[in-house]
Structure 1
Amino acid sequence: MSLKPQISVIISTYNSEKWLEKVLWGYACQDLNNFELVLADDGSKKPTFDLIEQMRGQLPYEIKHIWQEDEGFQKSKILNKAILACDSDYILMSDGDCIPRQDFVSQHLAYREKGYFLSGGYFMLPLTISELITKEDIFKQHCFDVAWLKARGLKASFKNTKLRANNKLNAILNFITPTNASWNGHNASGWKADILAVNGFDERMQYGGQDRELGERLFNYGIKSKQIRYSAICVHLDHPRGYKTPESINKNLAIRATTKNKKSKWTAFGIQKNTN
């Protein structure tokens, strides 16, 4: 009989096998192994299925592949299905274009606290470096080494501190950063019970802010947030975003404005339907 996982990791994906493979290797490098990986797949085609089948025997963790038909950008809907599939009481969410550092999952576990969700960030890599990263680079953690990245074209920036900071400096930077501790779909975690209490993601929302809106309802429900953007590190692989449109952004902004003005804790368009 298998042990209940300490944490469920939801990874969203859509027809991005090249990036997803790197991400799955990233989770193979984690410094703890009592987690499950739930792949929230918004309609990928056969190459993604083939990749998962090919990698299953090579990974030290199981993949739950939660898939739905491709009906346009429906990430909120597939994430709600993935939430229900999670066996752990605690859920970490990230994306299929974000390679996690080897302590990514354990940092989320270390900082988790009842009454809070955790807000992380990402370190954006240019497309040229994103394409260069190999399985070996992931296992040797080269893609988190500033010197290695600079040798391959990374520009000097204060943001590079995120990859260099030690534990003491992490705590200071987490405290002083002006960035809001919001729910970020690429790097956030919280208690499954809290996510269910606000009815998950609003399925009317398409690209642009559906993760933030979930966090805003969690705030309205009484959950606070903690900033861990300098502690839980993932690198973001660059790619085009053809699903980002002014219409989707404006629609989502209107829904978020309603959530804020009405101090909504619940969406009628989430996991449970037709519920007041």
Structure 2
Amino acid sequence: MRSELIMTTYNSTRALALCLESVLQQTVMPDSICIADDGSGPETAKLIEDFKTRFAPVAIRHVWHADNGFEKCAILNRAIATSEAEFLFFIDGDVLIHPSFLARHRALAQRGRFCTGSLIRLDDPTTKALTEDDIISGRVYDRNWLKTRGAIDRLGTWLKTMPFPMPLQNLLDVLTPVQKALCGANWSAFREDILAVNGFDESIKYGGLDKELGIRLQNNGTKGRHLRYTAPLVHQDHPRGYKDPEKIKRHKALIQGVRTSGRTWTENGIVKGPARA
């Protein structure tokens, strides 16, 4: 089963460098990596070139389009459409993935199912103080390190640090009554299942783009499997200047429409227009 890790980025070279460092620490590597770039400048291209030698023999490809505002769905669709892998992992370029992250997603890979996890969020001062050694040493995933920096604020977050053996953590995944909502920074699926619903809806900008896709996948019979406590990642803080309350309101209505209608296909996806008979 050929796999590819797709990560999104936009003009965040420091965050992306730390994210790629966390990928280098994985116990199981993907066959290839795709950086889906929503219009970054030349600094990002240079960073990717610098990392290519460190990732060899794992190939890195850089899928880019010109900056036209927040067009994450469009660049993700292009990455999916041009991928040659059967199985796809998805993360954002501002996260740090635990060394077992890809192994856990891959172990549960199954056609007709997507897996999705959750985040442990760092605040701005902690994010700015992060170093490469924090990633390589694994400190950034240590529950005591996270607690002293205010990242563990409740029992659920503490459980995301995997304090128990994997069988018990897995049981918590299964028994915890949470909605199987797709988290775009932490998910995986077979490419054919994503293509069956035509990928992301490009009419959706920031706010709900991942949730909308997850609902269409489930409408199409692709079941969700939550990895809330067994595939942890740490999220680096950043501003969201592209956040638009009016668009988010519109997206919520669109998502509700997809949920109630049972719709599976978007006409604004990888293929433009209705599904072919």
Q: TM-score, normalised by structure 1?
A: 0.93
State the AA in 2 paired with 1:95. Answer: D
Q: How does 1:18-37 map to 2 (within 5 A)?
A: 18-37=14-33
* CA deviation string 1:239-258 (max 9, x = no partner): 11111111220121122122
Q: How does 1:98-113 map to 2 (within 5 A)?
A: 98-113=95-110
**1:46 and 2:42 aligned:** yes
Tell me, yes or no, if the aligned pair for 1:38 and 1:85 is still in contact at 8 Å. no
Q: Residues of 2 paired with 1:148 and 1:274: CA distance?
A: 49
Q: How does 1:109-148 map to 2 (within 5 A)?
A: 109-148=106-145
Superposition deviation, residue 155 in structure 1:
5.0
State the AA in 1 paired with 2:166. Answer: N
**In the alignment, which residue of structure 2 is the partner of 1:162?**
160
**In the alignment, which residue of structure 1 is the partner of 2:213?**
214
Q: How does 1:8-19 map to 2 (within 5 A)?
A: 8-19=4-15
State the AA in 1 paired with 2:230. Answer: S
State the AA in 2 paired with 1:255. Answer: L
Q: Residues of 2 paired with 1:26 and 1:75: CA distance?
A: 22
Q: How does 1:23-102 map to 2 (within 5 A)?
A: 23-60=19-56, 61-102=58-99
Q: Secondary structure of 1:33's partner? A: coil
Q: Residues of 2 paired with 1:165 and 1:47: CA distance?
A: 41
For the structure 1 residues 203 and 243, does the alpha-carbon distance in structure 2 shift closer, same or farther, using more than 3 Å as the test?
A: same
State the AA in 2 paired with 1:117. Answer: F
Q: Residues of 2 paired with 1:154 and 1:66: CA distance?
A: 33
Superposition deviation, residue 46 in structure 1:
1.5
Q: Residues of 2 paired with 1:45 and 1:274: CA distance?
A: 31
Superposition deviation, residue 261 in structure 1:
2.5
* Structure 2 segments unaligned to the other structure (5+ residues): none
Superposition deviation, residue 229 in structure 1:
1.4
Q: Residues of 2 paired with 1:71 and 1:156: CA distance?
A: 37
Aligned pairs, number: 272
Tell me, yes or no, if the aligned pair for 2:89 and 2:189 is still in contact at 8 Å. yes
* CA deviation string 1:28-47 (max 9, x = no partner): 11102343111111001121
Q: Residues of 2 paired with 1:12 and 1:40: CA distance?
A: 5
Q: Secondary structure of 1:240's partner? A: coil
Once superposed, what is the RMSD of the aligned Cα atoms? 1.6
Q: Residues of 1 paired with 2:33 and 2:67: CA distance?
A: 21
Tell me, yes or no, if the aligned pair for 2:121 and 2:151 is still in contact at 8 Å. no
Q: Secondary structure of 2:90's partner? A: strand
Tell me, yes or no, if the aligned pair for 1:165 and 1:230 is still in contact at 8 Å. no
Q: Secondary structure of 2:225's partner? A: strand
Q: Residues of 2 paired with 1:263 and 1:153: CA distance?
A: 41
Percent identity reads 36
* CA deviation string 1:122-149 (max 9, x = no partner): 1111122222221122111110001223
**In the alignment, which residue of structure 2 is the partner of 1:224?**
223
Tell me, yes or no, if the aligned pair for 1:182 and 1:212 is still in contact at 8 Å. yes
Q: Residues of 2 paired with 1:128 and 1:169: CA distance?
A: 33
Q: TM-score, normalised by structure 2?
A: 0.93
Q: Residues of 1 paired with 2:149 and 2:50: CA distance?
A: 30
State the AA in 2 paired with 1:264. Answer: R
